[in-house]
């Protein structure tokens, strides 16, 4: 089973992933988690380039290809082997992030980005995607107040982040069998119990 967490910056995905992994382990699953971009040695090196605030001259195509490059490595080196062993793979961001940020956010041709993602992932799609939905104004404030690392992508304008959120909601509406939308404006404990509720329902429908 391949599960991904998606959402705008500051939506709290990263805090939710470990409790979710623990919950799945308690339910008898072997769980592997990773975050994007990164999750492999090569991917972590690409991440450093992507996040570096000094890389102000980075072009949009370069940015898109670097995210895809890190993901191609992760899929072949890590995700597929874990899935082949029958484990649950739980990812903090995946291809939908590229659709949302580089596609909707930068207003690029969505079909081109989708084709690029198919190439990078070999067509591997998540079984279930949880969208932690949040107004980007709230999310970016959370990141600043929380003292989180401020990266090159956080520094894009608010309008850009609004387009990212809109893109996520559009993708979720277009493919409801895969996506579940969770309100991330609630306190973290409540968000976690909502996520676990979604998972329980999903698992009970499988059996
Ligand atoms: P990170 O510090 O991991 O933030 P978060 O906790 O919000 O995931 O930084 C990842 C940043 O990269 C984030 O701003 C989203 C962006 N991103 C893309 O623009 N495209 C992508 O394909 C991915 C995976 C991430």
The residues lining ligand 1, judged by C-beta closer than 6 Å to any ligand atom, are: 9, 14, 35-37, 67, 93, 97-98, 101-102, 151, 153-154
Tell me what pLDDT residue 167 has: 98
Low-confidence residues in the chain, pLDDT < 50 = none
Residue-number span of the structural domain to which 111 is assigned: 2-206
Q: How many domains does the chain have?
A: 1
CATH number at residue 64: 3.40.50.300
DSSP string, 141-207: HHHHHTT----TTTTS-HHHHHHHHHHHHHHHHH-TTTEEEEETTS-HHHHHHHHHHHHHHHHHHH-
Pick the residue whose CA is nearest to atom 5 on ligand 1.
Answer: 9
How does 70-95 read in b/e, with b if 16+ C-beta sit within 10 Å?
Answer: bbbbbbeebbbebbeeebbbbbbbbb
pTM of the predicted model, to two decimals? 0.94
CA of 9 to the centre of ligand 1 (A): 7
Tell me what pLDDT residue 147 has: 64
Interval 37-82: pLDDT, tens: 999 999 999 999 999 989 999 999 999 999 999 999 999 999 999 9
CA 133 – CA 182 distance, rounded (Å): 6
CA 64 – CA 50 distance, rounded (Å): 10
Pick the residue whose CA is nearest to atom 19 on ligand 1.
Answer: 101
User: Could you tell me if 93 and 152 are in contact, meaning their C-beta atoms sit under 8 angstroms apart?
Assistant: no
CA of 65 to the centre of ligand 1 (A): 14
Tell me what pLDDT residue 141 has: 85
């Amino acid at each position: 089973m391949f599960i991904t967490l998606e959402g705008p910056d500051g939506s709290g995905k990263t805090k939710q992933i470990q409790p979710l992994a623990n919950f799945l382990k308690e339910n008898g699953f072997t769980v592997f988690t990773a975050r994007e971009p990164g999750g492999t040695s090569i991917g972590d090196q690409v991440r450093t380039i992507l996040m570096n605030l000094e890389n102000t001259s980075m072009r949009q195509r370069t940015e898109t290809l670097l995210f895809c490059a890190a993901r191609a490595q992760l899929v072949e080196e890590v995700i597929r082997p874990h899935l082949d062993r029958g484990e649950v793979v739980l990812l903090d961001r995946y291809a939908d992030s590229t659709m949302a940020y580089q596609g909707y956010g930068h207003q690029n041709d969505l079909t081109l980005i989708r084709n690029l993602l198919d190439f990078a992932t070999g067509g591997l799609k998540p079984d279930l995607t949880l969208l932690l939905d949040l107004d980007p104004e709230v999310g970016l404030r959370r990141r600043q107040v929380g003292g989180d690392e401020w990266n090159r992508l956080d520094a894009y304008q608010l309008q850009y982040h609004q387009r990212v959120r809109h893109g996520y909601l559009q993708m979720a509406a277009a493919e409801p069998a895969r996506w579940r939308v969770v309100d991330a404006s609630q306190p973290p404990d409540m968000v976690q119990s909502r996520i676990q509720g979604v998972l329980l329902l999903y698992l009970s429908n499988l059996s």
